Amino acid sequence: MNLPQNSFKRALAAGKPQIGLWSSLSSNYTVEVIAGAGFDWILLDTEHSPNDLENLLTQLQAAAPYPTHPVVRVAWNDMVTIKRVLDVGATTLLVPFVESAEAARHAVAATRYAPEGVRGMSGMSRASRFGSNPNYLRTANDGMGVIVQLETPLALERLEAIAAVDGVDALFVGPADLSAAMGYPGQPTHPAVMQAMTDAVQRCEAIGKPLGTVGGSPDTVAQYRAAGFHYLAVSSDLGLLMRGAQAVLAALRTPDAEHVHLLSSGTQTPTGY
């Protein structure tokens, strides 16, 4: 028995654009909704969310029936944390705050069984289908996807060295942290930040390494696409919920003529309840 190949890793290697969505609500129910929406990938965040390992497990289970590929952002570049996330079935990781080739090698090693790495062996994990896949321990290394997140000017300076680490499948620029580190907190599309990110795209093109990022709105993502980013996430489940709630509230507090007409005519929009 062989487990399915890592479709996201293969798509990045083939240069196929991938559109994803960030998930920060720590909810398996939300993940199932998003996975069924048709995104190429979904980011399950455990760094800036209240997610714990058991929650993450249920989210991976919720995404499993769908072609949308779950990418897990671990809380830190830590061998024990990574081992536990892989054991519950994650196959692609986004590792935050990588600033050097040494840190990238540490991240890759944590995803590999010996002799290629330092991942602890477990014969009865969900990753191996609870031991029913006899080939898992021999083949798991090849299916692991590792994306390292560059979040500072120093990390960008070292981009080529980080990208050259064997086992790093793609790079990812975190615009929020990068903009803050550059002196523009809360301004991820500041011209200086955009220039640094565009330069990173061009350098990745030169070495053949996929580079991704995340934008808070379709307009922002359009700018990143124009800059040449290879894979992107647009907004988040949390952001969509908040903006949707705010829009509905604003419409009801300041109704325009159309809203007044709909209310007065008795026309209703289905709520889904």
Q: Which pLDDT value is given to residue 258?
A: 55
Query: Is 81 domain-assigned?
Result: yes
- Report, as an integer, the average pLDDT of 217-235: 96
Banded model confidence at residue 123, pLDDT cuts 50, 70, 90: confident
Q: Residue 176: exposed, middle, or buried by beta-carbon count in 10 A (0-12, 13-18, 19+)?
A: middle
Which one from 48, 106, 230, 261 is the annotated catalytic residue? 48
Q: Which pLDDT value is given to residue 190?
A: 97
Query: Is 68 domain-assigned?
Result: yes
Domain with 91 in it: what CATH number? Answer: 3.20.20.60
Closest by CA to 118, choosing from 92, 81, 145, is: 81
For residues 144 and 112, the answer to whether their CB atoms sit within 8 Å is: yes
Query: Is 1 domain-assigned?
Result: no
Q: What is the DSSP string of 159-203?
A: HHHHHTSTT--EEEE-HHHHHHHTT-TT-TT-HHHHHHHHHHHHH
Query: Is 184 domain-assigned?
Result: yes
Q: Which pLDDT value is given to residue 114?
A: 98
Per DSSP, helices labelled H in 40-158 are 53-63, 79-87, 101-110, 136-143, 153-157
What confidence tens digit (pLDDT) does each residue in 244-255 have?
999 999 999 986
Query: Is 224 domain-assigned?
Result: yes
Query: Is 16 domain-assigned?
Result: yes
d(CA 113, CA 88) in angstroms, rounded, equals 15
Other beta carbons within 10 angstroms of residue 88's beta carbon come to 18
When divided into structural domains, the chain yields a total of 1
Closest by CA to 238, choosing from 75, 95, 48, 71, is: 48
Provide the domain limits for residue 110: 7-265
Query: Is 270 domain-assigned?
Result: no
For residues 235 and 215, the answer to whether their CB atoms sit within 8 Å is: yes
Q: Is 69 one of the catalytic residues?
A: no
- Report, as an integer, the average pLDDT of 124-147: 96
Name the average pLDDT for the chain: 93
Query: Is 188 domain-assigned?
Result: yes
